[in-house]
């Protein structure tokens, strides 16, 4: 068995198994959700608001990557709340569980979009930031994985859940889904000659 091919096939299967729900917990098909997320991002920008990305560890790397791509390639005001000085200052003074909630409080405005990424969907600092965003009238998009009953999966206006417990598959899946939102919103279409 070719391990690399098997890995790629497993990742593809996990991505194809992505489950999406809306704010009520009702299922939304992945294509509709991806189009809705792209529309929401563009509308947020068009209304003079911004996209804010939060995540820990590998998810923080995804946040940095996506904030610059959504800004540079998508022309959308976007930023990631993972500056080292901000995280260490706020973590030291207020506790690590508040490092993102406080930044949402500082910088979030009604009509902004918070994109919250957590592989486990259980990180207290992500959940606290989502609660702060909700209190301030922000729209919320979540990406999670691991257990199907993770609490983050029920917190957003749109919730993308990747059904796997392997960090690699979940993180690559989240990056792929966020790229799909941007790329499709920018007009990407499949090349029929490359099937």
Residue 175 belongs to domain with CATH number:
3.40.50.10490
Q: Is 195 inside a domain boundary?
A: no
Q: Give the HSE-up count for residue 182: Cα atoms under 13 Å, Cβ half-sphere.
A: 22
Q: Which residues contact 102 (CB under 8 A, 6 or more apart)?
A: 90, 94, 132
Domain count, the chain: 1
Q: Is 179 inside a domain boundary?
A: yes
Q: Give every residue of the chain whose pLDDT is below 50, as ranges.
A: none
Among residues 126, 117, 168, the alpha carbon closest in space to that of 144 is found at 117
Q: Is 67 inside a domain boundary?
A: yes
Residue pair 138/111 in contact by the 8 Å Cβ criterion: yes
| Full domain range(s) for residue 32 | 28-186
Q: What is the pLDDT of residue 192?
A: 84
Q: Is 18 inside a domain boundary?
A: no
Q: Is 89 inside a domain boundary?
A: yes
Q: Which residues pair with 27 in a beta bridge?
A: 21
Q: Is 17 inside a domain boundary?
A: no
Q: Is 13 inside a domain boundary?
A: no
Q: Is 4 inside a domain boundary?
A: no
Q: What is the pLDDT of residue 112?
A: 98
């Amino acid at each position: 068995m070719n391990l690399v091919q098997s890995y790629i096939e497993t990742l593809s299967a996990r991505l194809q198994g992505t489950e999406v729900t809306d704010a009520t917990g009702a299922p939304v098909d992945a294509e509709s959700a991806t189009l809705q997320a792209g529309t929401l991002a563009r509308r947020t920008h068009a209304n003079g608001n911004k996209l804010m990305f939060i995540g820990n560890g590998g998810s923080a790397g995804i946040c940095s990557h996506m904030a610059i791509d959504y800004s540079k390639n998508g022309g959308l005001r976007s930023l990631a709340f993972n500056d080292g000085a901000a995280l260490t200052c706020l973590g030291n003074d207020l506790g690590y569980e508040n490092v993102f909630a406080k930044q949402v409080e500082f910088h979030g405005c009604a009509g902004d979009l918070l994109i919250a990424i957590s592989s486990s969907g259980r990180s207290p600092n992500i959940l606290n930031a989502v609660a702060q965003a909700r209190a301030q009238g922000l729209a919320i998009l979540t990406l999670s994985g691991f257990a199907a009953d993770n609490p983050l999966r029920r917190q957003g206006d749109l919730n993308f859940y990747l059904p796997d417990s392997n960090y690699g598959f979940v993180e690559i899946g989240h990056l792929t889904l966020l790229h799909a939102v941007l790329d499709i919103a920018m007009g990407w279409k499949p090349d029929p000659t490359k099937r």
